[in-house]
Amino acid sequence: MPRLVMKFGGTSVANVERIRNVALHVKREVDAGFEVAVVVSAMSGKTNELVGWCKEAAPLHDQREYDAVVASGEQVTTGLLAIALQAIGIPARSWQGWQVPIETDDAHGSARIARVGGEAIIEGFKARREVAVVAGFQGIHPGSGRLTTLGRGGSDTSAVALAAGLNADRCDIYTDVDGVYTTDPRIVPKAKRLDRVAFEEMLEMASMGAKVLQVRSVELAMVHNVRTFVRSSFDDPANPKPGTLICGEEEIVETEVVTGIAYSKDEAQITLRNVPDKPGVAAAVFSPLADANISVDMIVQNISPDGKSTDITFTVPSADYARAMDVLAKEKTTIGYPAIEGATDIAKISAIGVGMRSHAGVAAKAFRALADRGINIRAITTSEIKFSVLIDQAYTELAVRTLHSLYGLDAA
């Protein structure tokens, strides 16, 4: 029989009424002949409440116990959905991450999945046609036997990993939008829903600020070639929209030059002035940041006319800005910079599309359009299928609308 993994996020299971609606979506697929595993998040707002309780108990707390607390939200949802399915005549049982098991490393709070053992779930499919309702966001570290969590958005990762482990035909990610759009429809009402997006494009969109899918889930889908649909749980369960398929590039017959425009306001810029231009200086700057687990994105280095010093500008997540400044302050003597500057009122705008591989001048066209709108570019980075610009945050919406129209992405 064909096999399907369905994932429902927090807004889709926010209360018992919505959980009953999820059960109807699951029933539709069971009636269509699928063996179904469902991955669920905690009810909307519950994880934040649990995190708040941990901080209230002790600001500096044991991450292993933190995981034990915050993973409980998914346990509630699995039980409730299993009950709702049973109430409409669908055999179902709940599974926690450690029962599957979803095995991870021991990085509590941000664990990475090492293996998914789905043999018992498959046995349930064969023996009882039983729907497996699996807790997302969590797993177990085999060495310690301790429960782990995967970090924010981890239920998406759980679902794709489970689909790979069960050798499922596809993975459907249900959320509060009916697919992946060319950009945020709240900024550009003419944004279009995309029928198909290549894994590489979705990975860039997710990492550049699109909130539809978690980055690690897209990475897993691409590595294991898991065909993934983004769909809406708020569609009519009897007649849902098709959503957007995330798939290999070979499944997309004709590609646009630019597929979508993503943006992120969660950026901070740091500039080190007059750093000595000598071997090892870049390592002296970025190694301490890496040791502090601070991700660095855009990097621009300028050499002075005398060739003796350089300015180094880079971006970090705004949530890590204060920590990054503190790390660099402690390394001032080692690095040898006389001045440091920072800004948090910035945004990153990215244009993404596999069609860029075969078209010249795509980025230059954007730079001219932004200049014509009076938008100054602070920094630029490019890759084979995307380019990103750093601009003042006040111009975010104007820049997104400008590029969306420039590349013909507005709906007719």
Q: Does 254 score more than 70 pLDDT?
A: no
Check whether residue 232 and residue 277 sit in a common domain.
no
At 344, the pLDDT band (50, 70, 90 cuts) reads: very high
CB atoms within 10 A of CB 119: 10
| C-alpha 200: how far from chain center | 13
The whole-number average pLDDT for the span 32-36 is 97
- Strands 386-392 and 379-383, how do they pair? antiparallel
Check whether residue 160 and residue 11 sit in a common domain.
yes
Query: What pLDDT score was predicted for residue 412?
Result: 56
Helix (H) / strand (E) element for 141: namely strand 138-141
CATH number at residue 386: 3.30.2130.10
The whole-number average pLDDT for the span 61-82 is 96
In a domain, 254, yes or no: no
Check whether residue 208 and residue 271 sit in a common domain.
no
In a domain, 255, yes or no: no
Q: Which of 223, 248, 273 is the last residue of a domain?
A: 248
Check whether residue 73 and residue 203 sit in a common domain.
yes
Q: Which of 17, 18, 22, 20 is nearest to 36 (CA)?
A: 22
Check whether residue 12 and residue 118 sit in a common domain.
yes
Instruction: Output the CA angle 202-39-147, nearest 5 degrees.
Output: 105
Check whether residue 243 and residue 293 sit in a common domain.
no
Q: CA–CA distance from 381 to each of 50, 133, 140, 239, 299 (Å)? A: 38, 42, 38, 43, 8
The per-residue pLDDT of the chain, averaged, comes to 92
Query: What pLDDT score was predicted for residue 278?
Result: 87
Check whether residue 349 and residue 206 sit in a common domain.
no
SS3 track for 58-123: CCCCCHHHHHHHHCHHHHHHHHHHHHHHHHCCCCEEEECCCCCCEEECCCCCCCCEEEECCHHHHH
pLDDT in tens, 181-234: 999 999 999 999 999 999 999 998 887 766 788 888 999 999 999 999 999 999
Check whether residue 178 and residue 151 sit in a common domain.
yes
CB 215 within 8 A of CB 247: no
Q: Does 303 score more than 80 pLDDT?
A: no
CB 294 within 8 A of CB 318: no
Backbone angles phi, psi at 243, to 5 degrees: 80, -160
- Report the domain count for the chain: 2
In a domain, 150, yes or no: yes
Alpha carbons 138 and 147: distance in angstroms, whole number: 7
In a domain, 182, yes or no: yes
In a domain, 253, yes or no: no
CB atoms within 10 A of CB 274: 15
pLDDT in tens, 93-120: 999 999 999 999 999 998 999 999 999 9
Q: State percent of the chain over pLDDT 70.
A: 98
In a domain, 70, yes or no: yes
At 33, the pLDDT band (50, 70, 90 cuts) reads: very high
CATH number at residue 161: 3.40.1160.10
Q: Which of 197, 222, 248 is the last residue of a domain?
A: 248
Check whether residue 346 and residue 295 sit in a common domain.
yes
pLDDT in tens, 232-251: 999 999 999 989 999 998 88
At 300, the pLDDT band (50, 70, 90 cuts) reads: confident
Provide the domain limits for residue 326: 261-406
Q: Which of 248, 280, 314 is the last residue of a domain?
A: 248
In a domain, 37, yes or no: yes
- For 305, counting Cβ atoms within 10 Å of its Cβ (0-12 exposed, 13-18 middle, 19+ buried), the class is exposed
Q: Which of 293, 328, 326 is nearest to 312 (CA)?
A: 328
The distance in angstroms from the start CA to the end CA of the chain is 41
pLDDT in tens, 113-159: 999 999 999 999 999 999 999 999 999 999 999 999 998 889 999 99
Query: What pLDDT score was predicted for residue 209?
Result: 66
The whole-number average pLDDT for the span 10-24 is 96
Query: What pLDDT score was predicted for residue 357?
Result: 83
Cβ partners under 8 Å of residue 356, min gap 6: 257, 258, 362, 384, 385, 386, 387
Alpha carbons 12 and 24: distance in angstroms, whole number: 12
In a domain, 239, yes or no: yes
Check whether residue 210 and residue 322 sit in a common domain.
no
Check whether residue 244 and residue 265 sit in a common domain.
no
Check whether residue 213 and residue 65 sit in a common domain.
yes
Q: Does 396 score more than 70 pLDDT?
A: yes
